[in-house]
Amino acid sequence: MIGRIGALLKRDLARLMLGGRGGGAVLPVLFFLSVAMLYPFAVGPDAPLLARTGGGVIWVAALLAAILPLDRLVEPDIDMGLFDQWALRGISEELVIAVRVLAHWLSFGPPLMLAALPASALLGLNGNTLRIVETGLLAGTPGLAALGVTVAALTAGLRGGAALSGLLVIPMAVPILIFGAGSLGMGGESGLALTGAASLVLLAIAPFAGGAAVRAARG
């Protein structure tokens, strides 16, 4: 069983990190950095304003970057018949989805946390704000990954699934965004704790909701 999980994780990582045509992990990072780069151009070089709002911009950019790979998370594997082959071998949809959440997080969470370093320099954030942003991303991105995979499984096979999944993720990611970006204000620790709590809830639900969605799509 461990060998099978390892094989699944290795395949998922190869697809999501290096990802051939999809651009892999590079595309969300470049998107994230370009938002952080464009923001000072748009609002002007007012350093105090940038420093005050920069943390929130990083959060919004991270949320939008997490949406980019959604359409290739689940649907191609259903189309190729891989989920059917796994089911025949007794590998449950829940297990595959759980592994995919981990792989999806590894492919965008840590890269975004690294990219937040140059982004914070572009926005002129101070060390303390950067520390809170990084901790918040660490607590929040696993939830975004779980949410992304769940929604990708729910919208697989639907017409316009890619656009629809983006629209579905955004409202459901609001709690993570509010608590994560809110932790930059007063009483930050409780915001971080609530971000982590929202992430854990999403992580706990994702394998079951995603697995049920894949089985329902099989019809």
Partner 1 sequence: MQEASIAVKDLACRRGDRILFRGLTLRLNQGEALQIAGSNGIGKSSLLRIVAGLAPAFSGSVEVCGSIGLIDERPALDPMQPLGKALAFWQRIDGAADNELARLGLSGLLDVPVRYLSTGQKKRAALARLIGQKARVWLLDEPLNGLDVHAVELTERLVAEHCAEGGIALVASHQPFDLPGMGRLALAEHAA
The residue behind tokens 């994230």 is 32
* Identity of the residue, 95 or 200, whose beta carbon is nearer to partner 1 in the bound complex: 95
Q: What is the torsional sign of CA 23, 66, 64, 39?
A: negative
- The two three-digit tokens of residue 80, written as one number: 């190729």
Nearest approach, Cβ of 116 to partner 1 (angstroms)?
30
* Identity of the residue, 78 or 122, whose beta carbon is nearer to partner 1 in the bound complex: 78
Nearest approach, Cβ of 150 to partner 1 (angstroms)?
22
> Binding residues for partner 1, per CB under 8 A?
3-4, 6-8, 10-11, 15, 20-21, 79-82, 84-89, 91, 218-219
Nearest to 13 by CA among 206, 130, 145: 145
* Identity of the residue, 103 or 119, whose beta carbon is nearer to partner 1 in the bound complex: 103
Nearest approach, Cβ of 16 to partner 1 (angstroms)?
12
* Identity of the residue, 90 or 160, whose beta carbon is nearer to partner 1 in the bound complex: 90
CB-based contact 100:149 (threshold 8 Å): yes
Nearest approach, Cβ of 210 to partner 1 (angstroms)?
18
Task: State the Cα–Cα distance between residues 31 and 21, nearest whole angstrom.
Answer: 16
Task: State the Cα–Cα distance between residues 219 and 178, nearest whole angstrom.
Answer: 37
